[in-house]
Structures are given as C-alpha cells and as structure tokens.
Chain A
C-alpha cells in the first residue's frame, strides 16, 4: 500500500515551458487535491476533484489545469511556466471518514 505517490520528485523548467505533474493514490478515495507550499504562505489549494469526472478551482488556480484521469490519478499541468510557479507541489487524497487528507511526498519545481 503506497498511499499517495507523485512524479517527478524534482524538476527545473525554463520560463514558458510546459509540464505535467502526476499523482496517484491506491486508497480508493473519491476526492483528490493539489496544493502548493511556499515560505511564508503556507499550503494553498490549487485545484480539487470531489470525485472521478469532476474538478474545480481552489484558492490559487491561475496558470494551472488539472485532469482527473480515473479514480486513482489526478494530474496538474502548467501550460506556460512562470518563475512565480517555483514552489513545492503536493497532491493529497481525501479519506472516507472526515475527508481527512493524506499527502504525497511532493514535487520540487524551479522555474528559471
């Protein structure tokens, strides 16, 4: 039981490049989430998916898109990366009781 997995662990992009961050969970959870964590700003919600086939914006969605590919997988795409998107990105899935959220190990992204 791996929980929540994320790929890649690290990535360096140039301004304007695109990339997709992958997330998968094996806990059979319905809801999944993408956060970014920045010094002094804490964890902020980018997008979430309440269930397979639905996605919605969180607190800081600009510059991102998401796809809920199936119940297990939820990807985050940066279409044209900007230095302001340099951050650590975490994926989480919501548990069955109180939607308590379980986090992945994170992706450290640097945009030059």
Chain B
C-alpha cells in the first residue's frame, strides 16, 4: 500500500465550477501537508501548505486537513481555464534541527485537471 494515495482523475469541469481534489495517507509521522500545481513541461509550484487539522484559505483556494481521518483536500472556487494543470498533494516529515534540518516529501500520483471555457 502506498503511503499517499491521490484520486487519480482526470477531472474535466466547466469554468466557474468548484473543484475538489483529495488525498489520503497512512503514515501518522507526516507533519506538514502541501499542494503543488504543475503545468505541462514545468516544475511543481507550491500552492499551499498547512500543518494542523482544519481549513486554510488563500484566494480561490482552500486547503483542508483532517488528521484523524488522514485525509486532505484542496478546493478551487470559481475555477478558471488557467487552473488547468496537474495537482500534486505532498506530505513532509522533518528530520534534524536548526540549520541542518531537512524534509522528506512523499507525493501523491497527481490529478490532471482541465477547466474548459
């Protein structure tokens, strides 16, 4: 069983729709939760990160974490064609301390989203 499972999609929605992207995880040691957006032939771009259960909002994006259920979601309101991309959930476990700390990211497989006009 993979440590992080992401709804594979693909998703195709009309412009203006609300999009829900979801991941589950099995490792309780994950400390922080992130969402990346990756456009075709580009590097992953960090969208949001959070560490506690609950919601975090940034413009049209809301990240939701439920640690008791080991479940995270990303909601996109009023979706736009420019939101068309692959969305990757990622979970990080930190090691070390201070200037020698580092994080090991575990990614979901990604969900391809297409928003059509």
Cβ contacts under 8 Å, B88 to chain A: 42-43
Q: Please state if B105 and A105 are interface contacts (CB–CB under 8 Å).
A: no
Known contacts A99-B101, A99-B103, A100-B34; can you find 10 more A-B pairs with CB under 8 A?
A43-B88, A45-B104, A50-B100, A51-B100, A94-B102, A98-B51, A99-B94, A99-B102, A100-B49, A102-B46
Q: Give a binary string over B46-75; 1 marks a CB under 8 Å from any A CB, 0 the rest.
A: 100101000000000000000000000000
Whether A101 contacts B108 in the complex (CB less than 8 A), given A43-B44, A50-B100, comes out as no
Out of A48, A51, A90, name the residue touching B44 (CB < 8 Å).
Answer: A90
> Cβ of A50 and Cβ of B107 under 8 Å apart?
no
B91 CB to nearest chain A CB (Å)? 11
A42→B103 contact, CB < 8 A: no
Is B102's CB under 8 angstroms from A48's CB? yes
Q: Could you list which residues of chain B lie within 8 angstroms of chain A, going by C-beta atoms? A: 31-32, 34, 36, 41-46, 49, 51, 88, 92, 94-96, 99-105, 107-110
Across-interface contacts of B104 in A (CB, < 8 A): 45, 48, 58
Q: Determine whether the beta carbon of A105 is less than 8 Å from that of B43.
A: yes
Number of A-B pairs, beta carbon distance below 8 Å: 72
Assuming the A-B contacts A100-B49, A102-B46, A105-B42, are A51 and B99 also in contact, with contact meaning beta carbons closer than 8 angstroms in the complex?
yes
Cβ contacts under 8 Å, A30 to chain B: 99-102
| Interchain residue pairs with CB less than 8 A apart (19) | A4-B43, A31-B103, A33-B105, A42-B88, A43-B107, A48-B104, A51-B99, A51-B100, A54-B100, A58-B104, A94-B103, A98-B31, A98-B49, A98-B51, A101-B105, A102-B46, A103-B44, A103-B45, A103-B46
Residues on B with beta carbons closer than 8 Å to the beta carbon of A103? 36, 43-46
Closest 8 CB pairs of A and B: A99-B103, A103-B43, A50-B102, A31-B102, A98-B32, A43-B107, A51-B100, A103-B44
